[in-house]
Amino acid sequence: MGALTNIGAGVVALWIFVALAAPVLAPFDPNALLSPFATPGAPGPDDGTFWLGTDHLGRDILSRIIWGARSVLTYAPVAAFCAYVLGVTMGLAAGYFKGWVDAGLSFVSNAVLAFPVLVLYILVITTIGASALNIVLAVTFASAPGIMRIVRSLVLDLRNRGYVAAAETRGEALWWILFVEILPNARGPLIVDACLRLGYVIITIGVLGFLGLGLPPPDPDWGGMINESRALTLAFPHMTLFPCLAISSLVLGLNLMADGLRKGEVRS
């Protein structure tokens, strides 16, 4: 199983490298309209090659995937991070104070979690409009309750430990107790969850793009690429196949990493 974890980490590292080096790696401008409907391997301008073909507008698919990696690896971690900041704070408050704080926060998060998640995304995005900021907001809003639940259950246990009592007796500030004494001891399950959740967020951004609710065109976005060429799948599978492979491999890498981390967690 160790090998699979390494493969997962390798795939994720590769995509991060691709995202960082996008300007160097991409053979063409991702938004340039070159020659439409080119099949994979067809020759392009300036002695270049359309290794993965072009889409119906003549944009190079490889370049769009490379630049798309940059956008997905920017927005997904930012969205997951915001969700964590909100969810962890809520979870710490609910688990530490218990009582009505817990009751109130738990009711709100249960109401949000009762929503089938995609329905929630569709309603929120169609209301506030599709943009990068709004996708981050929607993901934060929809994911924070789930994170809160995990943190809350961990904190309910950790707050009874001796070192918390010691810190309270020393008269440490509240934020110190929450973020320095309690939170680091809850990190194990949270790191595994973060890996899985990042995968979900990437899928979510992909699904929103696929439904036409993602990042506004023309900038490359994997989900959006699939949406634009969806109707042409039967005639030109390469237009949709490669973005799908890209997103699947990235999520698979993250899930393999999470699986390895979880096994390590159980062992230690």
Contact set with another protein (CB under 8 A): 1, 4, 110-111, 114-119, 122-124, 126-128, 199, 203, 206-207, 210-212, 223, 226, 230, 233-234, 237, 240-241, 244-245, 247-248, 251-252, 254-256, 259
CB of 107 to another protein, least distance (A): 8
Q: Given its phi and psi angles, is residue 41 left (phi above 0), alpha (psi -120 to 50 degrees) or beta?
A: left
Query: Minimum distance from CB of 203 to another protein (Å)?
Result: 5
Q: At what angle do helices 187-210 and 117-128 cross, to 10 degrees?
A: 60
Residue 54 or residue 227: which is nearer to another protein going by CB? 227
Cα separation of 84 and 144, whole Å?
6
| Rounded least distance, CB 12 to another protein, Å | 12
Q: Which of 42, 87, 77 is nearest to 62 (CA)?
A: 42
Residue with smaller CB distance to another protein, 11 or 182: 11
| Smallest separation, CB 184 to another protein (Å) | 27
Is the sign of the CA dihedral 60, 61, 66, 72 positive or negative? positive
Rg over CA atoms, the chain: 22
184 vs 212, which CB is nearer to another protein?
A: 212
- In the complex with another protein, the residue whose CB is nearer, 48 or 212, is 212
* Complex with another protein: residue 89 or 109, whichever CB lies closer: 109
Q: Are 53 and 236 in contact (CB under 8 A)?
A: yes
